[in-house]
Structure 1
Amino acid sequence: PKKHNTQEGRIHRIRPDFKEDPSFKNRLISYNHSAVHIPTDIYDGSTIVLNELNWTEALEDVFKKNREEDPTLLWQVFGSATGLARYYPASPWKDARKTPSKIDLYDVRRRPWYVQGAASPKDMLILVDASGSVSGLTLKLIRTSVSEMLETLSDDDYVNVVNFNTRVNNTACFDHLVQANVRNKKILKDGVQNITAKGITNYTKGFEFAFKQLSDPNVTRANCNKIIMLFTDGGEERAQEIFSRYNPEKKVRIFTFSVGQHNYDTGPIQWMACANKGYFYEIPSIGAIRINTQEYLDVLGRPMVLADAKQVQWTNVYLDALELGLVITGTLPVFNKTSSEDGSRKQLILGVMGVDVSLDDIKRLTPRFTIGPNGYYFAIDPNGYVLLHPNLQPKNPKFQEPVTLDFLDAELENDIKVQIRTMMIDRVPGNKTIDTLVKTQDERYIDRGVRTYTWAPVNGTDYRSAAFSCTLEKFEENGYTFIAPREYCQDLKITSNNTQFLMDFNQYIDKRTPSDPMCKYIQYIILPFNLIIKNVKGVLARFVATDGGITRVYPKSGGEEWTENAETFDSSFYKRSLDNDIYIFTAPYLNSKPPVHMFYLVYSSTRKCVCVCHVDCVILDDGGFLLMSNQEEYITQVRGLTLTPELHSSLSKRICRDAEEDDVVDGKQFFSLFFPLKMTCILYFSLTSIEISFPYLVLLTKYTFVGFFSAYSEEDTSDAYSKESCITEQTQYFFENDNRSFQGVLDCGNCSRMYRAEKLPSTNLVFLITDAKSTCLSCDPKPLKQAEQPSIGPDPCMLAQNPRYRKGPDVCFDNNDDVMLLLFSYEYSFTALMSLYVQSVHLLPWLQHRSSFCCCFSFVFDDGQFHFAFIVDQLV
């Protein structure tokens, strides 16, 4: 009968009329219905699920009303503690057009926004029984259980894993609690896999070690909920003396897990949990791991129920499961406020409400084109992670973990930026103008520029911006013109149909003028300018680019083959020209991009260097790239001389800084995500062994941390739960001082070679000439490459010893004397629940409503958890 009813229910399911919606990146959407997702490991015909489907259906009307009040709302989601997720508007969970064979491993209770919204921060010590009795299948279950437990933690939590028998050992290299970020969790999981079972169980030693580590005042912690998770097969010892000594007030909750199928007495570990405000769970097989390792969140949520917590929490940046891209989510927990027959409150957290805010929408609200090409806006959270930054640009991301890119990793770290980060986290407004190193848009060069940082907490503060404009007198009609695809008029949208767009534009200009407030950017492209046409021998083409997004190329034939980005704010050559008062030459790309080009002029790079055959002649740019040579080999292969470690023999200074870790990138080739991170080692080299002049600054840079989350493709699902790590580093060069020339002799052991280098005036070029001795090959080095290379990266254990400054949430809902110890029950009052829901849902749409913005570009979140700042390009 149950099977028949289930099939009959599926026949009568509603099939909405879906249409593509550009607001959801052309995903199929229906605003007439909400949709429900149920995890694959939960029976969708169970009484609990059917009950939740029934009473959550009333949310659909609330969702629709919210949408009417604020049409900019995106996904509205309720995640239930049972695993059911109801979201609006409705959309097919699997898009058969894109991923027809996608395996559904989604569980709303494992999503970053649910984890952060369901409970306050935690200090968790995971205690693993490593005695001989757990060997075999039980130990395998423990390893998997601990890994799943770590997945329930967020960046606001702190954790460590230790194993014990007659001795206690740290599972990984951490000797104290560490932040539960992606990389630290990966290291702990690897350590758990190396646990071996031997000896006998000694709970007294294990718990004593755990309590001491939880109470260590000398390390950074969450300073909120304190919990110990014990994974064991059972035992006779109760360790009562330890609990009386270290936990007399029951401030530390203890959760115990009996793992495996065995005949051991579980009474003692049940007593441990009940005597310390925890819970006891059984994990007899792998199928029980997932559900039993996440139910503790419901217990930790009870103090929030008693406190009637209504504080909105905002997540880190993460990838939306329904392909909206990178988002942040505002969340509120939903409680059961009904009372039992004896008058006591049930203290149950029913789930979490969430509303997504797309990073693309936030970017569109920032006046990017009014502060100059080298200016930008960024925002950070209390952990120092950016939620808005130009370098937060993942490529093909497909991951479940939050994207935790620290501000100091997104830029080139220095002491002043450390201070800026600290002040922003402490919500102290300010501004600083600094001389800093800047990586170019194409990541090939390093420039030194002056930048003004202005920051303030996002709670109604006004912001300042800077603008750079260009005014010329005459417009030349000859040549080829490119216009950047910007939203010049906010209420005139660009369409793929040019004819329709022109018709719309003709109607539009009858109503608007360029001075209209809705067309504040149009003035930048109507500015007349003059391009003086002169025939210069060797010049293939010349161009003029403007802040307004106009690029003029002459002659027209040059424009027809032009491949540079029409958006000047995204063009390296344009942005570099503002940081340098010289002619900038750029080396040819290895792909089909243009050859050597200079601001205003484009030269052919095929002309040979006028040098005699017994010398090597090369011209390098300030990034160490070859522009011209009388040799056919590449720069690092021109008789092994140019930019080699041997040539940089007078090493004058070495400065190394640690790199932080929390960039999430998938390690498999299918899913790649790259973030530019901070410059890790700074090496000052001189091109001569005789005098310290004209050195290059070599930056062994850009640790790109990859992966640490479930990575699988549609074609390969056998390793769906694997975690992989990949770190790369990059080497870059730039001129450190203004010395014009130098010369010397390079000693190669059995021979020597003379060389001379001359910096070409008013350019970023160096002319280098050396003896071309074909018999002097002992100096041939291993080629230096700028491309990203595999690296072991910084020592994670050392990083954990000196964590970066952060600040946890201002409010903590932890252990409460009024919290009752009762078994979970999902027998709710429908009327009471819906009343609660309506109250909770109405608190959310407003978080991103336009009326909450303090001005046209500064967004305000009620809890003040995010901080907003921007950088203004300082032209000198």
Structure 2
Amino acid sequence: MCAPHMDAYQGQLMRTVEVIKHGTHLVHTLHYPTGSYFTSFTELFLLQLDANETQEGRIHRIRPDFKEDPSFKNRLISYNHSAVHIPTDIYDGSTIVLNELNWTEALEDVFKKNREEDPTLLWQVFGSATGLARYYPASPWKDARKTPSKIDLYDVRRRPWYVQGAASPKDMLILVDASGSVSGLTLKLIRTSVSEMLETLSDDDYVNVVNFNTRVNNTACFDHLVQANVRNKKILKDGVQNITAKGITNYTKGFEFAFKQLSDPNVTRANCNKIIMLFTDGGEERAQEIFSRYNPEKKVRIFTFSVGQHNYDTGPIQWMACANKGYFYEIPSIGAIRINTQEYLDVLGRPMVLADAKQVQWTNVYLDALELGLVITGTLPVFNKTSSEDGSRKQHQNQLILGVMGVDVSLDDIKRLTPRFTIGPNGYYFAIDPNGYVLLHPNLQPKNPKFQEPVTLDFLDAELENDIKVQIRTMMIDRVPGNKTIDTLVKTQDERYIDRGVRTYTWAPVNGTDYSLALVLPEYNMHYIEASLGDLNQAKFFETMQVEKFEENGYTFIAPRTFQRVHKPSTTTVNTLNKPIPILLAGNLTLVNRLLLDAGLTAELVTLWKKQPIEGVLARFVATDGGITRVYPKSGGEEWTENAETFDSSFYKRSLDNDIYIFTAPYLNKSRESSYESGILVSKAVELDFRGVKLKPAVVGVKLNVSAWMNSSLDGLILQSGSREEYITQVRGLTLTPELHSSLSKRICRDAEEDDVVDGSLKHHFGQKLNLPYSEEDTSDAYSKESCITEQTQYFFENDNRSFQGVLDCGNCSRMYRAEKLPSTNLVFLITDAKSTCLSCDPKPLKQAEQPSIGPDPCMLAQNPRYRKGPDVCFDNNDDCCFFSPMNIHLLLCVFMLTQLNCMIYFHLLSLLFNFCFCSTTGCLSCASFSG
């Protein structure tokens, strides 16, 4: 996430865009290409005609030699070629597409040069306004060896990075005609069209949908413009489905309502392009008085859509669009929806053309279409600024946006640039964008991100919110550097516990972007140990990690880190230990020296452990920041199940945050077998004070034999039954009562979006303050693949009281209890009346596992939205324009007058006239026209 890398990416974008501009003189030169290209639809190992491939297109196809590339997650790659993706609903043999294939071919050399300068570059993509996408390096769009055959719905113009890069932010009011004349098929087309229109909006935009006849109604619960995020768009889509048609059309009332919402100064808005989108079947009214009163300077564009097949006069709504710097489109059938609901972006891009905007924009986090995982993209719009003559031979500058150029940056690659192992296990970086959404945050780990949607997680949802964090978020959005040290609640790695911790937040803006970057550190990670070892010590310490020394020095686990720059992180102990020490030292010397230092120091501990009694102890262990986990004896290591990467180990990270002995109970399996017999971990951080500097470089502990421990500590002390299993069951039933929980600990309840959940396999402890085994049966089933919101309840000790007592009232009887915190531990010792003394006490368990939730009310959230900041520059003005889409007229001629062959000839003639018509291989029903 460092600025030099961002500057390099931006320079490469600029160079590529300049090459595209030099080729724009070919845009209107209509001829078939002489070059060749690779289509991304080409199935691997198949030479027959592809399903989306016509004979005209096939003669220019090439089939590169692919090799798996680890930089692209072992995807098949060819660096000798770029590839082209053409949406399935676009005819790949049309003059426009073939011409565009030709003039974009020059990009291939620029892509190659960019990669020579920066071998870490991933996808470089040019997305055209016609829907064609050229990307480098070449790779099959789908791998027949891995991906089942399915319909490809990809259109580059609908991708988050293209939408954000093609136009400035928008305030959009969608006005839906709900009069009786639109009932039936027309209303269904309107509903689908509005839903598709909402998909062209990003988080920088604001939107609302209203419907009207003789009255005007908000379609959803929003009474003003709201941010076009995923949740709000879903609510609007659901509201559109509930629109019913009745009454008569009153455009005057509809537009008056729309203008008032767009001009409301009391709500947060994009404050850039203002748009009204009218979906109707036509009418006689022009509402001229309303336009004169509310839009005299034409600052609000009006786009009108005539929906359905009807005989109504469309002249008035054509006039509305032309009189208000907008466009008019016709949507006679479902095949026309997709293309016509996204064409307005070309119009909104024109002010950027006139301003010659060269500002690189960085997108939200989203899921890469070619399986790179989560990425951000630097985008730059590409313009056609050539001049053309009108009928009177007057020169006019074109105002067309040709497309958007993008360079992908993987979040995994950004993380690799951060010095993770010098900031400690509980330190971390994160960055946020002007909307307050995070990237790099350790809690940004969506399980089921949707391909079509950006991955958005607000900073205040990624962490447990408090007032100071609200201030930090605001300052980071405003790009104001600063730092704060705060007491905060911290959720453990496995999400089972909540602890208090002290964290120092330090943040600053990232030059060349609109991101701000923050570093979060606990006090004990303000400094770190840098080892410097001589050759003799290196060899000596290395020897203690050898497999043949496990019996003598304990079972040794090594964290799977990238100790060697040319190798992937090791996955097993043996893999690393079999490397000769000179090879290890040729890699990351800092990491290797720290590893060897910790190996030598922990080996000395084994000498002490051998002298200590082993009664009731299954194993002794030590884990270090340097990546060593040493378990003694060897048999204990063979049963060890904790994470070898100490920076990802829950017990390790939790021990560092607490100055007490931490008891960590295992999980019970679904069959309720006594997995607690595997042992209970007891751990404590090793604290060093070096010249006033506080360090916690390691954690030591034991794994207790539960049977021996309970026999010596609990048997015969509490209950009439001596059965350990019954004891645990009875205590569990008691501790899950609301009364007891409220007296022992404070309840934290928070809604977490599905993106905030780390791993479905990491379940939550239901009685965490007693540290007893818990059952997977108490957790919800595996998460569905739909995006969802869950609610989780967690508890922590709010005060320093050590004793608690009370009475559980069960109606006809009661049960007394008393609880004591055990000093220097996280345990609570609980004494209660036996259950047999009050059989009517049947407490309902409190489940701490995540439960499905509807989440916070979006309608209420919209009344008090979180702070955000829009882009600093707005492009919202250009020459007057007006366009009447000829699509429907040509379409009807094709359907009723021409055969399919004649229709294609006819559309070729139209392309010579309008330059932007094409037809798909399915026939003329999916023909479309672009505005010039």
Q: Is the CA contact (8 Å cut-off) linking 2:449 and 2:787 kept in structure 1?
A: no
Q: CA deviation at 1:405?
A: 0.4
CA distance in 2, matches of 1:423, 1:480: 48
CA pair 843-775 structure 1, distance change in 2 beyond 3 A? farther
Q: 1:53, CA displacement in angstroms? A: 0.9
- Indicate how the Cα distance of structure 1 residues 716 and 641 shifts in structure 2: closer, same or farther if over 3 A, else same: closer
Kept in 1: contact 2:779–2:849 (CA 8 A): no
Tell me, yes or no, if the aligned pair for 1:621 and 1:764 is still in contact at 8 Å. Answer: no
Question: Alignment partner of 1:115: what SS?
Answer: helix
1:16-44 deviations in Å (ceiling 9; x for gaps): 00000000000000000000001111111
Q: Residue 256 and residue 620 in structure 1: after superposition, are their counterparts in 2 closer, same or farther (change >3 A)?
A: farther
Distance 2:772 2:277 in 1: 23
- How far is 1:73 from its partner? 0.7
Deviation at 1:496, TM superposition (A): 16
Using the alignment, how far apart are the partners of 2:727 and 2:896 within structure 1? 48
In structure 1, what is the Cα distance between the partners aligned to 2:558 and 2:222?
54
Greater shift in the superposed pair: 42-51 or 308-317: 42-51
- Give the whole-Å Cα distance in 2 for the aligned partners of 1:712 and 1:13: 60
| Deviation for aligned residue 1:185 | 0.2
* TM-score (normalizing by structure 2): 0.70
* Structure 1 pair 447–5 and aligned structure 2 pair: CA distance change class (3 A): closer
Shift of 1:395: 2.4
Contact 2:595 2:626 in 1 (8 A): no
SS of aligned partner of 1:288: helix
CA contact (8 A) 1:730 1:789 kept: yes
Task: Measure how far apart 1:493 and its partner are.
Answer: 9.0
Structure 1 SS opposite 2:174 = strand
Superposed CA deviations along residues 463-505 of structure 1, whole A, max 9, x for unmatched, are: xxxxxx99999999510111111123xxx7999999999999x
8 Å Cα contact 2:436-2:473 kept in structure 1: yes
Distance (whole Å) between structure 1 residues aligned to residue 340 and residue 783 of structure 2: 18
CA distance in 2, matches of 1:726, 1:377: 26
User: Cα gap change, 1:723/1:119 in structure 2, threshold over 3 Å: closer, same or farther?
Assistant: farther
Q: CA deviation at 1:190?
A: 0.3
Q: CA separation in 2, counterparts of 1:856 and 1:372?
A: 68
The one-character-per-residue Cα deviations of 1:786-809 (angstroms, maximum 9, x if unpaired) are: 221111211110011110000000
Contact 2:443-2:756 at 8 Å conserved across structures = no
- Report the more deviating stretch, 47-56 or 233-242: 47-56
Match status 1:756 vs 2:756: no
CA contact (8 A) 2:754 2:790 kept: no
Q: Alignment partner of 2:740: what SS?
A: coil
Distance 1:767 1:97, change over 3 A: same
What CA distance in whole angstroms lies between the structure 2 residues aligned with 1:9 and 1:330?
31
Q: Distance in 2 between matches of 1:715 and 1:658?
A: 22
In the alignment, the residues of structure 2 paired with residue 259 and residue 68 of structure 1 have an alpha-carbon distance, to the nearest angstrom, of 51
Alpha-carbon deviation of 1:744?
A: 2.6
Once the two structures are TM-superposed, the CA of residue 250 in structure 1 deviates from its matched residue by 0.1
- Tell me how far 1:747 sits from its aligned partner: 1.8
Equivalents in 2 of 1:180, 1:789: separation in Å? Answer: 27
> Using a 3 Å threshold, how does the CA distance of structure 1 residues 537 and 423 change in structure 2: closer, same or farther?
same
How far is the alpha carbon of 1:710 from its aligned partner? Answer: 42
Cα distance change, pair 648–443 in 1 and its aligned pair in 2 (3 A): closer
Q: Which residue of 2 aligns with 1:493?
A: 584
Give the superposition deviation at 1:539: 0.5
Does structure 1 conserve the Cα–Cα contact (< 8 Å) formed by 2:446 and 2:755? no
Structure 1 residues 377 and 666: alpha-carbon distance in aligned structure 2, compared to 1, 3 A threshold: closer
Contact (CA 8 Å) 2:282, 2:314: kept in 1 or not? yes
Contact kept, 8 Å, 1:646 with 1:781, in 2: the verdict is: no
* 797-806 vs 97-106, which moves further: 97-106
Preserved CA contact (<8 Å) 1:158 1:221 = yes
**What is the CA–CA distance in structure 1 between the aligned matches of 2:799 and 2:779, rounded to whole Å?**
54
> Quick one: distance in 1 between partners of 2:779 and 2:88?
15
Change over 3 Å in CA distance of 1:486–1:807 after alignment to 2: same
- C-alpha distance in 1 between matches for 2:869 and 2:390: 41
Please, which moves more after superposition, 159-168 or 51-60?
51-60
Secondary structure, counterpart of 1:274 in structure 2: helix
Is the CA contact 2:88–2:152 (under 8 Å) kept in the aligned structure 1?
yes
Change (3 A) 1:203 1:838: closer
Note the C-alpha offset of 1:743: 2.3
CA distance in 1, matches of 2:321, 2:113: 45
Cα deviation code 1:626-653 (max 9, x no counterpart): xxxxx63696764842131143466999
CA contact (8 A) 2:448 2:785 kept: no
Conserved in 2, the CA contact under 8 Å of 1:585 and 1:764? yes
In structure 2, relative to structure 1, the CA distance for the partners of 1:276 and 1:319 (3 Å cut) is: same
Normalising by structure 1, report the TM-score. Answer: 0.74
Q: In 1, distance between residues paired with 2:777 and 2:136?
A: 30
Higher RCO (CA < 8 A, seq sep 6+): 1
* Pair 436,293 (structure 1): closer, same or farther in 2 beyond 3 Å: same
Structure 1 residues 81, 711: closer, same or farther in 2, change over 3 A?
farther
How many residues of Structure 1 are paired with residues of Structure 2 in the alignment? 740
- Alignment CA distance shift 1:311-1:227 (3 Å): same
Determine the C-alpha separation between the residues in 2 that align with 1:857 and 1:44: 24
Question: How far does residue 426 in structure 1 lie from its aligned partner after superposition?
Answer: 0.7
Quote the offset at 1:100 in angstroms.
Answer: 2.7
**Structure 1: 5+ residue runs without aligned partners?**
463-468, 505-522, 528-535, 597-614, 625-630, 668-700, 819-835, 845-854, 860-865, 871-876
Q: Conserved in 2, the CA contact under 8 Å of 1:166 and 1:202? A: yes
Deviates more, 1:728-737 or 1:339-348: 339-348
| Cα contact 1:425–1:867 (8 A) shared by 2 | no
Q: Distance between the aligned counterparts of 2:83 and 2:326, measured in 1? A: 35
Sequence identity percentage: 94
Deviations 1:502-529 (A, max 9, x none): 999xxxxxxxxxxxxxxxxxx99999xx
After the TM superposition, which of the residue ranges 760-769 and 328-337 deviates more from structure 2? 760-769
Higher helix content, 1 or 2: 2
Partners of 1:816 and 1:457 in 2: CA distance = 32
Deviation at 1:11, TM superposition (A): 5.1
Per-residue CA deviations over 1:243-278 (Å, capped at 9, x if unaligned) read 000000000000000000001000000000000000
Q: Is the 8 A contact 1:186 1:723 kept in 2?
A: no
In structure 1, what is the Cα distance between the partners aligned to 2:451 and 2:296? 43
CA drift of 1:459 comes to: 2.2
CA gap 1:718/1:425 in 2 versus in 1, 3 angstroms: closer
Comparing 643-652 with 24-33, greater Cα deviation is found at 643-652
**What secondary structure is seen at the aligned counterpart in 2 of 1:402?**
coil
**Structure 1 residue 815, shift from structure 2 partner:** 2.4
Matched with 1:42 is: 90
Post-superposition shift, 1:422?
0.4
1:259/1:282 contact within 8 Å kept? yes
Secondary structure in 1 matching 2:744 = coil
Instruction: Work out whether residues 438 and 447 of structure 1, in 8 Å CA contact, stay in contact via their aligned partners in 2.
Output: yes
In structure 2, what is the Cα distance between the partners aligned to 1:13 and 1:714?
Answer: 54
Unmatched tracts of structure 2, length 5 or more: 1-20, 25-54, 515-543, 564-582, 599-603, 609-613, 670-695, 700-713, 899-913, 919-932
User: Which residue does the alignment assign to 2:846?
Assistant: 784
Query: Structure 1 pair 189/287, CA: closer, same or farther in 2 (3 Å)?
Result: same
CA apart distance, 1:153: 0.1
Q: CA deviation at 1:80?
A: 0.4
Change (3 A) 1:84 1:420: same
Q: Which residue of 1 aligns with 2:797?
A: 735
Moved more, 782-791 or 547-556: 782-791
Q: 1:103 Cα shift? A: 2.4
Cα distance, 1:365 vs structure 2 = 0.3
Q: Deviations over 1:211-250 (max 9, x none)?
A: 0000000000000000000000000000000000000000
Note the C-alpha offset of 1:774. Answer: 2.4
Q: Report if aligned partners of 1:710, 1:723 keep a CA contact under 8 Å in 2.
A: no
Give the C-alpha shift of residue 436 in structure 1.
Answer: 0.5
Q: Deviations over 1:262-296 (max 9, x none)?
A: 01000000000000000000000000000000000
- In structure 2, relative to structure 1, the CA distance for the partners of 1:761 and 1:376 (3 Å cut) is same
CA contact (8 A) 1:622 1:764 kept: no
Aligned position for 1:585: 663
Cα shift at 1:14: 0.7
Q: Does the aligned pair in 1 maintain the 2:166–2:346 contact within 8 Å?
A: yes
* Alignment CA distance shift 1:787-1:350 (3 Å): same
Residues 256 and 51 of structure 1: is their aligned pair in 2 closer, same or farther, counting only changes over 3 Å?
same
C-alpha spacing 1:653/1:786, structure 2 compared with 1 (3 Å): closer
CA positional deviation for 1:779: 3.2
CA distance in 1 between counterparts of 2:895 and 2:183 reads 62
Tell me if structure 2 keeps the 8 A contact 1:331–1:352: yes
1:207/1:242 contact within 8 Å kept: yes
